[in-house]
Structure 1
Amino acid sequence: MGSTNDIDLVTQVHQTCEHLVLNSSEQIEVNDEAIDQFLDQLDIARFQKLSTGWITFPLKFDTVEDEVNLVAILDLLNFGSGYRQELHAACDRGAAQTIIYGCMGLHISQTPVDAQGLQKLTLGDVSGYFGIPLLGTEEAHPSLPGVTISQPSVLRNFAEALTKVLNETGEILQAKGYRSLGHFILDVTTSPSDAAPDWRPSAVELVDRLARTFPAFQDYRVKEGTSVYILKKAQLLAGDLHGRFQDPTSPAYVHFNFDDVDQLSVFSDNVLPTVLLHLGVLKLRDNTLQHKLDKLEPVSDTECWLLRAAAVYASDCLVNRCRARIDAVDETTDSNVAERANQLASLFNAVALDHYLWHIGKDPEIRKLPRLVYQDTVYF
């Protein structure tokens, strides 16, 4: 791990994203006026409705480990947004829907997805379960009249990346003595034998362990002076497990009743920068980058990290501004303002904000907007 100091990785997400954006003011900036406007106009009832991330699936599981394992694999494979157009054209599904479709297929067919099973999955298996074509158009053979050759599908690289992540994760789990990814997560979130009576599991610690153990969760770029950590999938998984197992009667509750979910950042992907730019919270000052986004041209690696980091920092600014408003409430505050602040106090953190922004990204006027395109990644 390329950490430059001993602070936890979630704190590094907040700090490095802020540093990168503040040192890139000639390209992008946060609009404080738009933040206030967003908070003033926020429909709290709609926010509450859209700020829940986990979707309950009508599936049965033999054990808690099996259920945690499926949630974990869904988030482990939560990438491919750069293939959005190609997936819709070939499969009539986006990246997120493709991953859900494939994972549901693996579960329903009872295909083993433990450490050994993940290692055995082939490119053909992934193509079949996830509905990703490996072959594309047929073209005439250059020297044999009447003979055609099938060209590789434009989605083959995506299928290969999914296969590599699954195989690699299985290998690491087996090497470390874990039955499954679910087993690993339950072990990390188990109360130590010497824990205090009021011990609770830590989302920050889970994110740290995931990122330090599995390459597919190592969503960071380490460069002297410009290191940036985002950790989208590891934080998403911690948030999803917390949201999924909120019932105190569930045997998994003690593992995911995190006391530090408020420390997580948003789960920055290709959607959040688009939504925040649309809301005016982010302002792009780089005309070249704006042209790429407008034309759906692939952005560079550096531009991709900047846009995603900007979404994290802008969201942190939103959360901090909301908390400042809540803290400012006293006996002199207008009753309507105070009531609104109190409502937000129980709802508003980065995880809830992420889910809300992602969901309004599906609104027709925002859904049609061009999003950043970047394919060479397994992080979003």
Structure 2
Amino acid sequence: MPVPSVEQQQQQQEKEITGPCLEVLASAEFINQHSQDVTVPALGVQQAAMTILEHMQQANYTPATWRTHTLNPQTADDSALEWIFLVDLLNFSFWTAPQETPHTVTVDGICYSGYWALPAAIRRAREEDGGLDLTDARVYQSIGRQQWAHVMRSDAPKARMPMLDERLEVLHQAGQLLCDKYDGKFANLLRECGGSAERLVRRVVREFPSFRDTHEFQGRSVALYKRAQILAADVWACFEGQGAGCLEDVERLTMFADYRVPQTLVYFGALRYSDGLRDGLARMQREGGELPSGHPWEVEIRGNSVWAVECMRRHIRKTTGQDVSAVLIDFYMWDYAKAHATEMQEIPIHHTRSVYY
């Protein structure tokens, strides 16, 4: 194994001092400063910030809103923690290509697609598949390919969950590590983080390969850590900032750079795509093309999304004195995108197959 250079050692020491969330913010600012096809217009950010703040206030949008989603845990206990870890372990790449049949799962008479098909399948496994508790690391560290495919089966015979095999590999890796180091419990890992969102993000990024959401951009390594940060945010929201969810530095978490929230940011005017980028994404969406992971367009979209939400958060604080976390802004915009998909369908979504989001 090669010995890190002095410069690499210094960079690693800086990361340990500043923390992974500040590392993401620094990466986002760098991406914003060196982007060619995505911009964060100041006036658009200001208008979007106040509009979204008003919407959130009208909806009384708080961490407690997280539990209003019926598939989310309705209790705040260790079983909820294991559920959160499992779901965020697999929380990536749910979009459906134009030529594909959407993956759907029906439970309690409701048909779920996209992200929600995942927790629906987990519930179905417990209720219909012999009481299989997929949240148990001792179960998923060794679950077989055939059983995994059955658990994640779609209502439509020809449809399948995207990246099924990659998800299985992620499960096996994480399950084995949890069993080897934490007695099979994410709750034990969380307790070692001492009530810090930063330490939780750092721990999972260091120990679980699929959380290492880093890329090369303009000659520099940039970090976005979408799933690691949303893991901390989900713990905080589930427990409403109490008990295991009392993460003292949760306000340091950034927006979670995926493929859905950027669409919402464009819709509200906080993000702007060049004509070339917009046309290219629209063409890919029509023809079923994909943007490769690490492509400059992908990094620009994700990095500028993080920076746009940070600028919105700062504008809200400067204008109103309110400290609204990037977590709640992100959660609200994701919910908004799902509820107003038809209104925003003319804004193309970037399609990248990746375990990072």
**Class of the TM-score when normalised by the shorter of the 2 chains:** 0.7 to 0.9
Q: Using the TM superposition, name which of 70-79 and 90-99 deviates more.
A: 90-99
* Aligned partner (choices 98, 111, 119) of residue 133 of structure 2: 111
* Residue 19 of structure 1: aligned partner: 30
Q: 1-side partners of 2:345 and 2:148: how far apart?
A: 28
Name the CA shift for 1:177/1:74 in 2 (closer, same or farther; >3 Å): closer
Name the CA shift for 1:72/1:156 in 2 (closer, same or farther; >3 Å): closer
Q: 2-side partners of 1:359 and 1:232: how far apart?
A: 17
* Residue 114 of structure 2: aligned partner: 95
What residue identity is the alignment partner of 2:343? Answer: E
> Is the contact made by 1:82 and 1:373 (CA closer than 8 Å) also made in structure 2?
yes
What residue identity is the alignment partner of 1:356? Answer: Y
Segments of 5+ residues of structure 1 without an aligned counterpart are 137-152, 190-200, 248-252, 328-344
> Which string of whole-angstrom CA distances, capped at 9 and with x for unpartnered residues, describes residues 211-250 of structure 1?
1111121112256832221111111111111111138xxx
Cα offset for 1:131?
Answer: 1.9
Cα offset for 1:17?
Answer: 1.1
* Aligned partner (choices 48, 67, 71) of residue 60 of structure 2: 48
* Aligned partner (choices 262, 268, 274) of residue 273 of structure 1: 262
Name the CA shift for 1:114/1:124 in 2 (closer, same or farther; >3 Å): same
> Which string of whole-angstrom CA distances, capped at 9 and with x for unpartnered residues, describes residues 112-154 of structure 1?
5433211221222222222249985xxxxxxxxxxxxxxxx7x
Name the CA shift for 1:114/1:86 in 2 (closer, same or farther; >3 Å): farther
Cα offset for 1:159?
Answer: 1.0
Q: 2-side partners of 1:232 and 1:277: how far apart?
A: 19
What residue identity is the alignment partner of 1:53? Answer: W
> Is the contact made by 1:65 and 1:186 (CA closer than 8 Å) also made in structure 2?
no
TM-score by length of 1: 0.76
Cα offset for 1:111?
Answer: 2.9
> Is the contact made by 2:256 and 2:330 (CA closer than 8 Å) also made in structure 1?
yes
Among all aligned residue pairs of Structure 1 and Structure 2, give the percentage whose two residues are the same amino acid: 20
* Aligned partner (choices 133, 145, 152) of residue 123 of structure 1: 145
Q: Superposed, which structure 2 residues align to 1:1-380 within 5 Å?
A: 4=12, 5-6=14-15, 7-24=18-35, 26-42=36-52, 43-44=54-55, 45-46=57-58, 48-49=60-61, 52-54=65-67, 55=69, 57=71, 64-83=77-96, 89-91=102-104, 93-108=112-127, 109-111=131-133, 113-132=135-154, 136=158, 155=160, 158-189=163-194, 201-222=195-216, 225-246=219-240, 253-285=242-274, 287-295=275-283, 296=285, 297-301=289-293, 302=295, 303-327=297-321, 345=322, 348-362=324-338, 363=340, 364-367=342-345, 369-375=347-353, 377-380=354-357
Aligned with 1:83: secondary structure?
coil
Q: 2-side partners of 1:156 and 1:64: how far apart?
A: 29
Q: Using the TM superposition, name which of 157-166 and 35-44 deviates more.
A: 35-44
Q: 2-side partners of 1:40 and 1:112: how far apart?
A: 41
Q: 2-side partners of 1:115 and 1:128: how far apart?
A: 18
Q: Using the TM superposition, name which of 221-230 and 271-280 deviates more.
A: 221-230
Name the CA shift for 1:162/1:133 in 2 (closer, same or farther; >3 Å): farther
> Is the contact made by 2:34 and 2:218 (CA closer than 8 Å) also made in structure 1?
no
Q: 1-side partners of 2:254 and 2:61: how far apart?
A: 20
> Is the contact made by 1:80 and 1:158 (CA closer than 8 Å) also made in structure 2?
yes
What residue identity is the alignment partner of 2:116? Answer: Q
Q: 2-side partners of 1:133 and 1:57: how far apart?
A: 18
Q: Which runs of 4+ in 1 moved over 6 A?
A: 58-61
TM-score by length of 2: 0.81
Aligned with 1:35: secondary structure?
helix
Aligned with 2:352: secondary structure?
coil
Cα offset for 1:68?
Answer: 0.8
Provide the alpha-carbon RMSD of the alignment. Answer: 2.9
What residue identity is the alignment partner of 1:125? Answer: Q
Q: 1-side partners of 2:193 and 2:176: how far apart?
A: 18
Cα offset for 1:326?
Answer: 2.8
Q: Using the TM superposition, name which of 359-368 and 272-281 deviates more.
A: 359-368
Name the CA shift for 1:181/1:132 in 2 (closer, same or farther; >3 Å): farther
> Is the contact made by 2:230 and 2:256 (CA closer than 8 Å) also made in structure 1?
yes
What residue identity is the alignment partner of 2:42? Answer: D
Cα offset for 1:202?
Answer: 1.1
Larger Rg: 1
Name the CA shift for 1:266/1:156 in 2 (closer, same or farther; >3 Å): closer
Aligned with 1:359: secondary structure?
helix
